C-alpha cells in the first residue's frame, strides 16, 4: 500500500507472546535488512533489563524511553529499511501511535488469548505478568489495547493458527 512513508521500516506490533521477535528475525533474514527490537535497544542503552527498569523507575518511565527511541528513529537519516519488533505496550501513548505510523508499515500480529497464555507461560522476564493471574491480565490487556493496535496497524495477521515462519513469508510478500 502507498500509505506508509519515506522510512518504510516494517514494524511489528502486538501483545507479548504474539511472535514479534520470532517473525521479526525471520523477516530480517528474508529481506536481508537489519533487525531492531525496541526492548533490546532500551535494555542495551540503560544496561539493565526491562523487569528492573519497571521495578526501579516504574512503567511510565519505561514508556517515555519508548517514545524517545521512536522520536530518534523518525528523525534518523538513513536509507536502510529496518525490521522493528516493539514492546507490547508501545501503542499505549497516543504520541507513540503517531510516531509508529510515521516510521513505516505497521503490522499487527493478532493472536487468540489462549495461545498467548501458552506462549508466555515459560517466560519470567515480563513484569506485567508478575504477581498476577497471567490469563486474566492477558485478557484485560487484549481488550484494552486491541483498538490501539487497530488504529496503528496498516495490516494484520492472526498468528494463532499459523507457523510463525509462514507469517514472516506472508508479510514479506505484502510489504
> Min. distance of Cβ 40 from ligand S3P in angstroms?
9
User: Minimal CB distance to ligand S3P: which residue?
Assistant: 87
CA distance 74 to 77: 8
> Min. distance of Cβ 143 from ligand S3P in angstroms?
13
- Asked if residue 52 lies in contact with residue 148, where contact means CB atoms within 8 angstroms, the answer is no
Based on the shown chain and the rule CB under 6 A, indicate whether residue 104 belongs to the binding site for ligand S3P.
no
Based on the shown chain and the rule CB under 6 A, indicate whether residue 89 belongs to the binding site for ligand S3P.
yes
State the number of binding residues for ligand S3P (CB under 6 A). 10
Q: Which is nearer to ligand S3P, 31 or 126 (CB)?
A: 126
List, as residue ranges, the binding site for Mg(2+).
Answer: 21
List, as residue ranges, the binding site for substrate.
Answer: 39, 63, 88, 145
Strands (E), the chain: 9-13, 35-37, 83-85, 104-110, 155-158
Strands (E), 38-170: 83-85, 104-110, 155-158
Q: Which of 13, 39, 111, 152 binds ligand S3P (CB under 6 A)?
A: 39
Residue found under cell 487468540: 112
Q: Which of 11, 12, 13, 16 binds ligand S3P (CB under 6 A)?
A: 16
CA distance 33 to 29: 7
Instruction: Tell me 118's DSSP state.
Output: H
CA distance 162 to 169: 11
CA distance 59 to 61: 5
Interacting span for ligand S3P (CB under 6 A) from 22-30, 110-118, 121-129, 156-164: 121-129
Q: Which of 69, 88, 154, 157 binds ligand S3P (CB under 6 A)?
A: 88
Which residues form the interface with ligand S3P (CB under 6 A)?
16, 20, 39, 50, 87-89, 126-128
Amino acid at each position: 500500500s502507498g500509505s506508509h512513508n519515506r522510512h518504510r521500516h516494517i514494524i511489528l506490533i502486538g501483545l507479548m507472546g504474539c511472535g514479534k521477535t520470532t517473525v521479526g528475525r525471520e523477516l530480517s533474514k528474508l529481506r536481508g535488512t537489519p533487525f531492531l527490537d525496541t526492548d533490546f535497544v532500551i535494555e542495551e542503552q540503560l544496561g539493565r533489563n526491562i523487569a528492573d527498569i519497571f521495578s526501579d523507575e516504574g512503567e511510565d518511565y519505561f514508556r517515555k524511553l519508548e517514545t524517545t527511541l521512536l522520536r530518534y528513529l523518525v528523525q534518523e537519516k538513513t536509507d536502510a529499511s529496518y525490521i522493528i519488533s516493539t514492546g507490547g505496550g508501545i501503542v499505549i501513548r497516543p504520541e507513540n501511535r503517531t510516531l509508529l505510523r510515521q516510521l513505516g508499515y505497521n503490522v499487527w500480529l493478532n493472536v487468540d488469548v489462549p495461545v498467548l497464555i501458552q506462549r508466555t507461560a515459560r517466560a519470567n522476564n515480563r513484569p506485567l505478568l508478575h504477581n498476577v493471574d497471567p490469563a486474566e491480565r492477558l485478557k484485560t490487556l487484549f481488550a484494552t489495547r486491541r483498538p490501539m493496535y487497530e488504529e496503528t496497524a496498516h495490516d494484520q495477521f492472526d498468528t494463532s493458527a499459523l507457523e510463525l515462519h509462514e507469517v514472516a513469508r506472508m508479510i514479506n510478500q505484502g510489504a
